[in-house]
């Protein structure tokens, strides 16, 4: 086992046969109102940028104990939109009144506890090797709850400001498409305009924020394809809805997956 030190933290490199060792901890430091008169939101301390020569793509960066704390949701979910609903309900009222543009959406689990911490580490700490572990969570949902074949995988496109940097959903999507043996088509769907973060917005505000934000790329048509659309976290489902609507209008059938959903 080798180790490297950067910004006061020790990174453990795993050799063959070593037990995986966690080298991270919660970075939530408190709550504040954003904007000043807005709702309370979590504030996260900056995570160190780990040197890529110290983290190889095949390495595990969470320990066995933490992995065991992450499991698929056992709660009842709407069979269409995937929202958590009381036992005995198959389809939620929202889907009955206004069927969504996708065939089905599922989340692996609720956005809380260890899964939440891992997603935050991956997205904001930019610990890219976690893409392999997180892609496996999508695979677990597909094997257990989504029989059938997909023609292509499309990640929810990143905001313009992130296109040249680390794109977490794009990175997971490439791994997942490879494991499924299907085409990876990140260029099929584009985000036409930058939008403010969705955090802290109401459902109506989220919808307005994303109106006209997504479109099919020029000369791209998904007619006849069964698309697997993925994102990392969903709260109200607005982003998934908007992206699926664009793909459906282009002639595709859409099934959507997310790693986690926030409880409303």
DSSP per residue over 88-128, as a string? T-SS-HHHHHS--SSSEEEEEEES-HHHHHHHHHHHHS--T
Strand 214-216 to strand 9-13: parallel, antiparallel, or no bridges (unpaired)? unpaired
pLDDT by position in tens, the chain (length 264)? 333 333 333 333 333 333 333 544 434 434 444 445 555 444 443 333 444 444 444 455 677 777 888 999 999 999 999 999 999 999 999 999 999 999 999 999 999 988 998 898 888 888 888 899 999 999 999 999 887 789 999 999 987 665 567 899 999 999 999 999 999 999 999 988 776 565 555 666 666 666 777 889 888 889 999 999 999 999 888 899 999 999 999 999 999 999 999 887
Decide: pTM greater than 0.85.
no
- Which residue is associated with the tokens 């680390």? 166
Calculate Rg over the CA atoms of the chain.
Answer: 19
Closest CA to 184 of 154, 227, 149: 154
């Amino acid at each position: 086992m080798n180790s490297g030190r950067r910004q006061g933290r020790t990174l453990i490199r795993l050799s063959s046969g070593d037990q995986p060792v966690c080298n991270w901890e919660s970075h939530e430091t408190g709550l504040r109102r954003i904007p000043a008169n807005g709702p309370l939101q979590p504030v996260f301390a900056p995570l160190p940028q780990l040197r890529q020569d110290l983290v190889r793509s095949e390495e595990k960066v969470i320990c066995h104990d933490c992995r065991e704390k992450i499991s698929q949701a056992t709660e009842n979910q709407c069979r269409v939109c995937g929202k958590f609903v009381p036992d005995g309900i198959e389809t939620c009222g929202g889907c009955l009144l206004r069927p969504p543009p996708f065939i089905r959406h599922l989340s692996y689990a609720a956005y809380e506890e260890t899964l939440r911490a891992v997603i935050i580490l991956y997205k904001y700490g930019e610990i890219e090797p976690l893409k392999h572990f997180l892609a496996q969570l999508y695979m677990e949902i597909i094997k257990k709850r989504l029989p059938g074949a997909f023609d292509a995988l499309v990640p929810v496109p990143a905001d313009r400001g992130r296109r040249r940097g680390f794109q977490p959903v794009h990175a997971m999507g490439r791994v997942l498409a490879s494991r499924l043996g299907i085409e990876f088509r990140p260029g099929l769907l584009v985000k036409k305009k930058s939008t403010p973060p969705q955090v802290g917005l109401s459902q109506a505000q989220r919808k307005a924020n994303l109106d006209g934000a997504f479109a099919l790329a020029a000369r791209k048509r998904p007619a006849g394809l069964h698309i697997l659309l993925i994102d990392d976290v969903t709260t109200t489902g607005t982003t998934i809805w908007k992206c699926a609507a664009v793909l459906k209008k282009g002639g595709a059938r859409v099934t959507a997956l997310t790693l986690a959903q926030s409880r409303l």
